[in-house]
Structure 1
Amino acid sequence: MAYQVDLKDVSKVGLTSSPVASALAGLRANEARYFWNKYKVPFITYPASEQPAIVDYVNTVLAERDITITAQPLEVAQPPVDGTDWTYVIYANGLCVNVLYEQAAGGKRAVGFKLSDGMDVPASLADKFKFVRQRSKLAGTIRGSYFVIKGEYSTPAIQ
């Protein structure tokens, strides 16, 4: 079932199985606010169990750097932005992974990692990335990092 993230009232809908559900809900709302403010598009999430192709796509892109996320994926999202594919997977441990893939030749292509407030850096990321801190009214302290994608990928659409 699809859920349109509320930008003002942070809700744990779809995230209640996470031990950091409140912080993760704030992080998700922070992402939703970004897309609304920048592109005027809603941030709609879907259960990851209903969208295995999206999770597989993100895992394929992460494999470029030998990264494996062992946490359970809870939700996925693909905010509609012209010319750019944004794909999100939100994990139970508090991690949010997004893949930015501009369709134009030579466009921006990167994977971003955001950690919920209070979450430890996963072992698969700790040795490979440095995380910077950002304050958010909705999410508290967010830590983030990224890497540039080198390969060519075809982004699947949410069904």
Structure 2
Amino acid sequence: MHGILADERGLVIASRPLEATRFQVENIRMAYVFYESGLSINVMYTLDDGGKRAVGFKLADGMDVPEELSSFKFARQKSKLAGTIRGSYFVIKNAH
């Protein structure tokens, strides 16, 4: 995940990662990293040529946008389970 962030957007996350997981369902790979700051990053990577590939960012409720992600616009969405969610994403353009 950190390689994709660096290669695609030149991003280096300053916060310390606390937990990471990855799994595959059929032809889609998913990875999640949760950071000490409250940031969560996920990658969805379809293995098929021309498939969907994206990186998503989620901020904990009340968390300021980290400086390294200040160029992204974060949308707010209400969730019955999670309260207010703020998130953003970008599409992965290269093969990784």
| Range of TM-score over shorter length | over 0.9
Correspondence for 1:121 among 49, 57, 65? 65
Aligned partner of residue 85 in structure 2, secondary structure: strand
Answering whether residue 27 of structure 2 is matched by residue 59 of structure 1, we say no
- Conserved? CA contact 1:71–1:93, under 8 Å: yes
Answering whether residue 35 of structure 2 is matched by residue 91 of structure 1, we say yes
How far is 1:68 from its partner? 0.9
Unaligned runs of 5+ in 1: 1-57, 154-159
The structure with the greater share of residues assigned to strand is: 2
Q: Which residue in the other structure is 1:81 paired with?
A: 25
Aligned partner of residue 68 in structure 2, secondary structure: helix
Aligned length in residues:
95
TM-score, normalised with respect to structure 1:
0.58
* Structure 1 residue ranges (4+ consecutive) displaced by more than 3 angstroms after TM superposition: none
How far is 1:78 from its partner? 2.0
The structure with the greater share of residues assigned to helix is: 1
Distance 1:96 1:137 in 2: 19
Unaligned runs of 5+ in 2: none
Distance 2:32 2:13 in 1: 13
Percent identity, aligned pairs only, is 57
Distance 1:135 1:92 in 2: 23
